[in-house]
Amino acid sequence: MDATAPWPELAASLVSRAVDRSRATAFSLALTNVQYLDERLLGLLWALADRWGRVSSAGVLLPLPLSHDVLGRLISARRPSVSRTVADLTERGLLRRTPERHWLLIGDPPNLPLPNLRSDG
């Protein structure tokens, strides 16, 4: 850290990024250990909604147009399985896709033992 001593803001930024990366890695590892795909998918979507979601009268809107393929990569699942799980969650009234291809999360987040992704929480 002697190299960054003249620039303490740089050192703080590097440490902050390392902590954020560590949190993201811990979250990903914990998420892949969730047994049921519906819980894994909801866990991911609610974690993303905690960061980027907006509360509305219908639920929590996650304005990220994530495809089933991308979601599958994020939760270690194949796209067809994600598509079936999305259909099941929609039928159960826990999830809905908006016309803008965003996600609407309905109800309460699942109670999963996942680490926090946010550096402020």
Tens-place pLDDT, residues 51-106: 899 999 999 999 999 999 999 999 999 999 999 999 999 999 999 999 999 999 99
Q: Where are the domains of the chain?
A: 7-105
Tens-place pLDDT, residues 17-35: 898 788 877 778 778 888 8
pLDDT on residue 118: 67
* Cα→Cα distances 82→7, 22, 98, Å: 46, 26, 17
Token digits of residue 69: 């393929």
User: Which among 4, 3, 24 has a CA at the least distance from the CA of 12?
Assistant: 4
Class of domain 7-105: mainly alpha
